[in-house]
Chain A
Amino acid sequence: MTRLAEGGALIDRTKPVSFKFDGKTYQGFAGDTLASAMLANGVKLVGRSYKYHRPRGVVTSGPEEPNALVNLGSGPTHEPNVRMTQVPLFEGLEATSQNRFPSLNADIGVLNALASKLYPAGFYYKTFIHPRVAWKHLFEPVIRNIAGLGRAPSEADPDTYEHQYAFCDVLIAGGGAAGLLAARKAGEAGARVMLVEQTERLGGRMLVDDDAEIDGKSAVAWVAEQVIALEAMDNVTIRLNTCASAAYDHGYTMLYERRTDDRKGTGPRHRLWRVRTKQIIAATGMIERPIAFYGNDVPGVMLASAVRDYVKLWGVAPGRNTVVYTVGDDGYRTALSLHAAGHKLSAVLDVREDPVGMLVEQVRGAGIKVMPATGIGKVIGGKAGVTAIKTVSFATGKDDAPLDDSIPCDCVAMAGGWSPVVHLYSHSGGKVLWDAKLAMYRPDANFRPTDGSGEGFVHAAGGANGELQTQAVLKSAAEAASGALSSIGMTTDTSAPTVAAVAEQPMQPTWFTPTQGKASYGGKHFLDYQNDVTVADIRLAAREGYESVEHAKRYTTLGMATDQGKLSNINGHAILADALGKAMPEVGTTTFRPPYTPISMGSIAGREKGILFKPVRETVMHNWHAAQNAEFEPVGDWRRPYRYQQGNEAREPSIHREIARVREAVGLLDASTLGKIIVKGPDAGKFLNMMYTNMMSTLKPGKCRYGLMCNDNGFLMDDGVVARLDEDTFLCHTTSGGSDRVHAWMEEWLQTEWFDLKVYTANVTEQWAQFAVAGPNARKLLERFEGDTDLSGDALPFMGFTDGVLDGLPVRIFRISFSGELSFEIATPTSYGPALWEALMSKGEDLGVGPYGTEALHVLRAEKGFIVVGDETDGTVTPHDVGMSWAVSKKKEDFIGKRAMMRSDLTREGRKQLVGLLTTNPRRVLPDGAHAMSADGTRAIGHVTSTYYSPTLKRSIAMALIEDGQSMMGQTLTIGIDANSAAKAVVSSPVFYDEEGARQNV
């Protein structure tokens, strides 16, 4: 056990918690993270790296953790790639290690490491290129087996997740000293403030690095005072366990809140917040950097700040005997905290030649050996952890340097300097500047992310702004608050509390530590722990010409793991700069992309799953269809009956039964989904002349006309029957999926091009139920209704319509047909739909009435050669291509599509034209989309657009678009079926049944 006898601000020693890791039971305390509890149990090995399967331990204490990723939970609550450093310990927690087989201790993937010479940087690039066959059959299967970290869950997550919306004036990301002061100032100025903090505690590094006094109080006491003040303000909302994941355009901010990771709480487990804020203060702090030295990935090598976090926050000393390796004063804080906890420190290694100052003197005064100009030349140890280090002197000035005696230790604390968390500042366009003295990228106040009025809306404060000293942190927070408030017309002063702190000496940026012999090429100097990218990989990338930082990143995969290079990017870019002989700013930095840390898939989905994933439109007859055992199919957002199943009837017999009913008796089709748009006004006819290829202005009231709609490329986009209700009013039917699109299309032209026309439109699709009554008995059925509407062919001829009454129900009856049979389409206000339908069913029983679905409809229309927009057309087909030149007016001066149809490509020879295909084997139904071959078999000359078995004709029929097809009547074509077979079919007219139209015109 490495739990200290006392201390640990966050743990409650009266509340023991038991949990399991890889099946073994351990004990921790309430307040622990999974990482602190594992360290407290002396477990160093917690994972295997991605590429080489090297043994890895916990490196950090926060969200930047690259190594300690585990599977959390099991079965439906299983979640992969969870950072142990962010998992609050709870009773019964179960975690398993990842990326190992068969077990963490005996992982055979470590063979990759032995073969690491075969996996240099660019391995994937080079392997992907050639030979391709090897990729498919050799490399990919092998890589798939060994690659990947966590395992995806296989069951649906039972928890709920939700999206929340919020608005505020100032959003403050980060609850450390800077965030607290900024929140206090903004809150006191009266702004609506949201303060979010990714951990469960406020205070940030002040809770650990408490050697400064603020306004005469201890840092911890000052933090407590701010929290009390903020909690008392109604206009300030504090959210813990909430990460400001992203700042998008115009101040749109995304927060990720983890509420009940123990899955025991009530309400949603995670929330994704969408916040509209006027201003953002990024008080997101800093992340400490590792140092590149030989063996810096052995379990037990940790960030120095994390080591003291574990000591002070969780009462855990990760080592009994620690070596600190530092580039500045900050590492000495770790030495002092371990010393205060009664632990041994073998040495503090400092890269600087002459470390001086108060922190250094305190360490020396404690009797701890300080070794100037010295680094770690080599770490000795393995999966059980660090056992010793060998030191190296920077004085040699060489990469290949002799190593000195070893120092026994079980923990290495590395303090490589700090990098401001500039992510939130950078997500929507803020720029960063390289500060050579502090070796960090800092936000450039001249290039802030800007909002809709072009003003900067993100202000960096404290550590995120590159401030290392508490006084400067608070000063910058006060200035950020003042800047944010003045942008929204509020004010605060820029005064900050007075800080008494130890003076610190400058750090010395150090990107590489020499070692002896061949190892100095850097193959065991790890930069990116998660993706196993080393100094050697970056140097190789530079040598092979990947000089751009973005190229080197992709070549080596530096920073491309789930931690997105939080620990590795700056170090890697510095190695690249060195290898290229360039300065850091010349090399540049990669793009910071949201989200800051991975967010759960559940939070992205929110409640939008299952039936809430996408709304479905149902007609007023939907329940009736369902009760008749309808099989539904999606048509646009609608669900329409595809066929009605009787008993265990297979699909084809039921469809054939429905077709025969329409051809021989009378069938009912629920056509309510057809789009219905009213176009009204003195200029309605003029307008529709532009919208349709046909002449609509000459249509007489009481008559219908089938119309085609094209776009200005001359291609068909919709079709339907237009009825003129009166001089000023037209009713335009559209395809079932097209009503919203066509309505929007009409409005676009009316509002943006012909705004001088006096026309209104209204989409009345859902106001009407509409049924097709089709078949030779259709008129007989309707004549059984009470009412004085004359339905005779003389009074209501084909393509006429009339308003009327059927058994007291108000109806509009259209003589239109999509089946080729005698057909009436009857529209009635939606609420009367069921009454009308039931009446049609009951009055026609002896006439053989019954419903038919969309598949029967499609066969019926294909027998008649009627096109369906979307089947016979694909966005490149003109009315002429489908043999409908008759519907394109030659008289109109202009219409949408007219000019385009004169373009050379639309008038050339060899365009595909609609024809029928009759297979030589009448039972052979062609596959939809099958290609017709040219005579010499060298190329495709067209494709099948609709294909069915026609029970009416007792043979296969198909429509196809074939190059110059109209001139190929009677020729036999070869149609490819699959790689090894083909069918023969004769080109015919696409109208297979009742070519004269005698059946519908009675």
Chain B
Amino acid sequence: MLLIHCPCCGVEAEETEFAAGGEAHIHRPGPDCSDAEWATYLFDRKNPRGVHLERWRHAFGCGKWFHMARHTYTLEVYGVYQADELTPPQAILDRIAERTSA
């Protein structure tokens, strides 16, 4: 069970306090988009054996959504960041680069 740090309320807590929300930074296209664009938005998800940017909610805590960069196999957590950030902060990108370069 993961140990997760919530960037909204600051607690470090068990995974059971949180709810996973799938891949992060999915773009929701407008109603004028093509069928293919809409299908991509609805259904196409990465499923990497590796670094994954994902959404989590502190469901049984502060209730806030946030982002987490995590390795899906080793379960290493590279960092958490706010739900309204459209890309990971540079510090997290640097950490990912450092930890995955070997």
Contact = CB atoms under 8 A, between A and B. Distances in A.
Q: B31, B64, B83 — which one has the most chain A CB atoms within 10 A of its CB?
A: B31
B52 interface: no
A453 B80 CA distance: 12
Interface residues of B, number: 30
Given A429-B74, A454-B76, A747-B63, A249 B1 contact: yes
A453 B77 contact: yes
Contact of B75 (A276, A452, A748, A752): A452
Interface string A422-458: 0000000100000000000000000000111110000
Interface in B33-77: 33, 35, 38-39, 41-42, 55, 57, 59, 63-65, 71, 74-77
A904 interface: yes
A276 B76 CA distance: 16
A429 B75 CA distance: 10
A469 interface: no
A760 interface: no
A755 B31 contact: no
A155 interface: no
A320 interface: no
Contacts of B74: 429, 450, 454
Contacts of A744: 57, 59
A250 B1 CA distance: 7
Contacts of B76: 450, 452-454
B11 interface: no
B9 interface: no
B30 interface: yes
A575 B102 CA distance: 37
A426 to B, nearest CB: 15
Contacts of A899: 29-31, 33, 38
A752 B65 contact: yes
A252 B1 contact: yes
Nearest to A755: B84
A509 interface: no
B21 to A, nearest CB: 7
Interface in A879-903: 893-894, 898-900, 902-903
Contacts of B14: 252, 276
Given A454-B74, A899-B33, A712 B83 contact: no
A135 interface: no
Interface string A269-306: 00000001000000000000000000000000000000
Contact of A250 (B3, B59, B65): B3
Contact of A898 (B31, B64, B83): B31
A713 interface: yes
Contacts of A249: 1-2, 15, 75
A936 interface: no
A454 B95 CA distance: 11
A683 to B, nearest CB: 15
Nearest to A756: B84
Contact of A894 (B31, B59, B99): B31
Nearest to B32: A899
Interface string A449-476: 0111110000000000000000000000
Nearest to A252: B1
B55 A452 contact: no
Interface string A245-260: 0001111100000000
A899 B74 CA distance: 38
Interface in B74-98: 74-77, 83-84
Contacts of A453: 76-77
Interface string A746-760: 011001110100000
Q: A752, A894, A904 — which one has the most chain B CB atoms within 10 A of its CB?
A: A752
Contacts of A752: 21, 55, 65, 83-84
Given A452-B3, A755-B83, A250 B31 contact: no
Interface string A686-698: 0000000000000
A744 B64 CA distance: 10
A753 B55 CA distance: 12
Contact of A450 (B31, B41, B64, B75): B75
A503 B99 CA distance: 45
Given A453-B77, A747-B63, A753 B57 contact: no
Contacts of A751: 64-65, 83-84
A900 B84 contact: no
A968 B65 CA distance: 48
A894 to B, nearest CB: 5
A712 B42 CA distance: 8
Nearest to B71: A454
B33 to A, nearest CB: 7
Contacts of B21: 748, 752
Contact of B35 (A248, A250, A904): A904
Nearest to A450: B74
27 contacts: A249-B2, A249-B15, A252-B1, A252-B3, A450-B74, A452-B76, A452-B77, A453-B77, A454-B71, A454-B74, A454-B76, A712-B28, A712-B42, A747-B63, A747-B65, A748-B57, A751-B64, A751-B83, A752-B83, A752-B84, A755-B83, A894-B30, A898-B31, A899-B33, A902-B31, A903-B38, A904-B35
Given A250-B1, A252-B1, 13 more contacts: A249-B1, A251-B3, A429-B74, A450-B76, A454-B76, A751-B64, A752-B84, A755-B83, A894-B31, A898-B31, A899-B30, A903-B35, A903-B38
